[in-house]
Structure formats: structure tokens, C-alpha cells
Structure 1
Amino acid sequence: MTSEDVPPGAEGGPAGPELHRVRREFLAARGVDDDPRWAESALVTMVFADVQIDVAEEALVDAAALVRQSQESPEQLYGPPDRWASGTVESLRESGLAAFEDPMPRSLRGSVLTVFGVSAGLSALFVVHDLLSLLFGTGSGKGLTLGLAVAPLLLSTAIIILWRVHTAASRRFAFPAVVALSVLVLAACAVTTAAVIMPLGQMDPVAGRGWMVALVPLYGLIAVLLARLWPKPSVAPQPLTVPEVLAGGAVEDEQWLRRAQAALRERGDLPEKRISAALREAQDHAADHGMRLLEEFVSPEEYARSLPRDPRVTPRRLTLLYGAVALSWLGAGVLSVAESGWELNWEHGLYAVLVLLTLWVSSTYARSWRAASADAGGEA
């Protein structure tokens, strides 16, 4: 068997030129059929962890070179593929390199498509809720109102707006300010959504309750049609003129510091004190050598990626986030019970499950937080 005998997507695996090249490299290394399968599993694990496909390919090609040199199997050299991939992902995160895909599109086109895609998913959840209500005898006989029909669209719009605001604010403000702004945006979206849905929900039904099912493919179809009719923005780079090149290289220290601060905040794995201290250290170091920051540290984004992360920051923030979500579910559940005259039904049990689930996730991150704090204390 030769490397050309391994087509993309063989044996039901994912297809793609990157996968084909990786499989070819591993097969050429020793000529053993199991090696490409190890590489395929590792590549899939890294891609599902949001690693950019070209970065994952490069890491695996480097791994194949060692397999070729040692003539040992990838399993012997690196262990199970998922464990090696997870370790590589963690190393990439610690390095601060821009090696990960943005999970949410930042363009207007991408945001609109995501809104309709999420609307289809929320409509499916509404259908499941109705089915369970009928099953347990708590369903309403009222038909489909305009309020219920547009609820998935309004809720998904609020989700995307909140995400976009959080993403933009993360580059500009310290974490506490980002949280405060996100809470304000969430409250505004909730009030606006309720102001639209509630009056429409009091109107006469426009169709039978069963038509709720039709909203799932309808929202999905709108997303597909928009994707085909709304052209993607051109990504072809425009040629730069000589003045533009010279202007791009003339980054003054103040601008360099602002860009570095934004890149460090966007990482989300460093506290504000560490960011301020790192910028002061860079400024002092450049001043000691009589050089500009751009000359001493190259680009501010590259400098920001080079700093090691604080392993305590992310689990601490996620612990508090999921703890707050658990309290929110608890409050919503108590209000729901009160509205029903303190008579329990299956929906209240769902609130209890959500509270327990978010508390469990919060406790998981709390353990990671404690472990990272203990390691930091030991190193100190």
C-alpha cells in the first residue's frame, strides 16, 4: 500500500485536504495502516477543540516526522490519540498563540445567519416542551399566537447581541466592567423581548398549536436561503501602497500599549493586575534600552500572545458564572412555583434539574480553581 491509497474520508472518516495530507504523512512514515487512523482521531479531537485546521495539520505533520525517525508507532511515542491531542491543545492555549477558531461569527452576515439557526433550535425546544406538557396533562389548549411564533427569533437575537457586546467589551474594559455591561444588556434585551412577546401572546391564535412544529424547518430554511442569497464578504487581500506600508509600521508607544492591552484582555486568562503589570514591564524595558515598544517587542498582538496564562483565572470566572446561573434558575423556579399557587408539576422538576446541573458544573470548575491555586502557592 502507498500513501496515495489512502483517500480523504476513507473508512467513513471526515474528508478534507488537511486530513488527506496528515494520513499520507503518517502512512509514509512507517507504512502501517493503523498510523493514519491514529492521526485521524487526533486531528478530529483537535478540530472539535476549535483548533484551526492548518495548525492541527502542522502539529500532526511534526508528530509524523518523529514517527518516521524512530520507526515506533504513534501510540508508543505519544500514547492514545485523544490524550496527545488534548495535551497539544492545552499547550497551544498556554502559549497564547492565535491558533483557535472564533466560535461566533463577527460579521453582520454571520450574526444574522446564526440568529435564524439558533431560532430553529429554540423552536425545537418549544415543541419538546409542548409535547411534555401534553404528556403530563399540563398543556394549554390555546393555539399558536404571534408572540409564541416570534419568541425564538427574539430570544436568539438577544443571545447574539449579548455575545457580540461581551466580545467587543472584552477588548476595551476590565473584566468587572464587562460583566456589569453584559448584565445591563441582558436586562435590556429581556425587557424588550417581554414587551414584544407578551402583548402578541394575548392576541387571538393565528394557527393551531401543532403548527409550532413548522417553525423549526421554517427558521432553518430562512437561514439556508439567506446563506445562498447574501454573498460572503470578499477575503482577498487588497494590495498595499508604499505609504500604507510605512504608516502601518509607525506604531507609536501609546497605540502599541492600547493594542496590547486589548489583545491581553481578549484572551480572558489573565487578571487585570497582571495585564497592567505586564504593560508597565514592557514600557520600562523599552525605556531602559532607549527603544520604542514596536522595535523592542515587535507587534503588540504577538507580545500579548507570548505571555503565559494564569491557570486560576478561567476556572475562577466560570465558577462564579455557573454559580450565578444556578441562582438564576433557582429564582425562576421559585417564581414559577409561586405563580402556580405553590402546586408542583413537572416543569418545576425541570428547574430543579437545571439548578443541580449548573451547580455541578460550578463545583467542577471550583475544584480546578482550587487545584490551580494550590499549584500557584506551591510554586511561590
Structure 2
Amino acid sequence: MKYYLIAGEPSGDLHGANLIKALKAEDPTATFKIVGGDLMQAEANQKPLIHTSEMAFMGFVEVAKNIGTVLKNLKIVKTDVLAERPDAVILIDFPGFNLKIAEFAKQHQLKTCYYISPKVWAWNQGRVKKIKKIVDHMFCILPFEVDFYKKWDMPVDYIGNPLLDAISNYSFNPTFKADNGLNDRPIIALLPGSRKMEIAKLLPAMAKLPYLFPMHQFVIAGAPNFEQAHYQQYFDGIEIPVVFNQTYDLLKHAEAAVVTSGTATLETGILQVPQVVVYKANALSIWIASMVIKVKFISLVNLINNFLSVRELIQKDCTTETIAEELDLLLNNKKHRASVLENYALLAEKLGHPGASEKAAKLIVSYLS
């Protein structure tokens, strides 16, 4: 069968690559067309129609500024989907774009599978009514999503979280520190996000932290769509190592982490690294979000546990000083550090076991058959 997968950002690219691998194992006749990143390209052995680096805009204002590119990308993908007429269009998160593709696919009698549910529980919950009409099969990766959809009388499949697959399948590098020229001082990992806006807003505050923790070395997890020079422009007189495509190795070696809200907060939790979650955006985007978003927390760790498991510093509360205060507690206050690790144990219990990609692939093939 022919599968058309669409991911619009790095986390979706990771999950898309693992799903392609699982589909190949489940369906020996599988062929693919992709919109995604380097990982999906490697697994599908083909160049994406559009690369994630040309698609990942976040925030109301940022999307508005790039609306021309967004509309152009939509047109390109719609034209290609219609030309390919796959057995299934598999949409991976990225709802602003992918729900429009789902509607288009439905209009043209193409099967749609949504892998990693849009976060409709966070805002504009009424969108579920439309989703029920345009998505044939919804696959959820967060435990509380099943109950949410049940309220709207929409059947969904809970498959577990694909990050567990990604981490359990990862080959950790035992010589990570030596290979990257790092010394024996304990590491604090800095994860400033994968989008230009996130890095511009958050890295300046992060880059001052080495002055306050001279006994530690700070290392940045670089996004694959940027180069070293992009990060250096935000340094504050101290060179900070940047490692690319080694985020799990970095977290494995880290004593603590400063993490931009997003998928990385959950990866950090799964890897048991005490963290402080940070986020800044355009002030107008934040104001609009505060009007419409219906959740208590911004990080996945806190959302899944349904209580404040790790500290969140948002907008004006996100400064070098406030980040440093929480880091100091995570590093030096044994009771506080132990509490975060206990919260991670509860998180692990709620997430369950690896196998999400395989479960999704089996369900997709069975539904199409």
C-alpha cells in the first residue's frame, strides 16, 4: 500500500521516521511519499516534498507573518496528494496545517489517519466536531486524551507514547563527552528549542547561566536545521559547546536541564533529568494564547501528571535569575531534587511501555485492509 506521511516539525519527523520503519515491517508492499525532515528522509529513502525547516512556524503572530509560505506549502501538498492518491494520508501532529489537509483528503475520498492527536483539549475544543467528520482514525499518545475524546463521542485508539520507542531504540554513545571535547565537570543541558523564534527569545537568558554556575559546564542541544554560528550570536562572552543530533546523549550525561516547553520536556522526564521548563514568545501571541488556552500547564510532564511536577517559567517570569534559582534547587537541594524524580516515576507509570509505533502501524494496516 502507498502511505503519504506529513510532519511539520522536528518532533513529528522523529515519530514519522519510527512509524515508517514499523509500517515497512507490517506491510512488505509499503511505499511512501513524505513531507518531513532528515529522519523521515533516511527511513523512507527519499527526499521530502517539503522539509520541516520550511514549515515550523509557531505562535499566532509568527504564523501570520509567514502566511504566504504556509499557503504556498498547503497548495503544494494538496496538489501532490491528489496526484499520488495514496491508500492513506497519515497526518502527524501539526494541526494548523494537517487539519486542512485532512479536510481536503476527505473531500477527495482519501483515507485519513491522524497519528499524534492535535491538542484540541488545550484550546478551541469545539474543533472535535469537525475532526470527527474529516479524520477516519485518530491515534492518541497521551493517556488523558482518550477520556477527552470520549466526552465528544469520538472513538480513538490509545497506542502509548512514541517517545518511549525513540528512547528505548536509541544507541547511547559511551564516549559522548570525549567525542565532543567536554571535560569532567558536571553538565547542565540547555535545550532552547528547534524554532528560530524560541532560540532568539530564550537563549540570551540561558547564555548568562555559566557565570552563575562556574563549577558546571553548559552544553546546548542544537536543532538540526541550524548551524553553530546561529547559536553563537546569542552568547554573552562565554563560548558554550553546541552538540547536534545528540540530545539524548546530552541529557543522559546531564545533572540538570533547562528545557523549552514542548516535546523535549517529556523526553527529559523520561530520561529522569531534573529540569526547569521555560518559554517566551511574541507578547501578542502570549496574550492571545492566554485568552483561548484551557490548560493549567504548558509542559507535557505537568499535563500528564496533572499537577506541578516540574517548575514552569513563562514570559516575564523567565529570566536568567529565576532560571538560576530553580537550577540551584535542582542541583543542591536534595529534598527538591528527590521530589522531581518521584514525579518522574509517576510519569513513567502513566506512560506505560514502548511499542507505540508498532501498535499504530498494525492498526493502520488493519483498518486499510
Same fold at TM > 0.5: no
More strand as a share of residues? 2
Identify which of structures 1 and 2 has the higher relative contact order when contacts are C-alpha pairs closer than 8 Å and 6+ apart.
Answer: 2
With the length of structure 2 as denominator, give the TM-score of the two structures: 0.22
More helix as a share of residues? 1
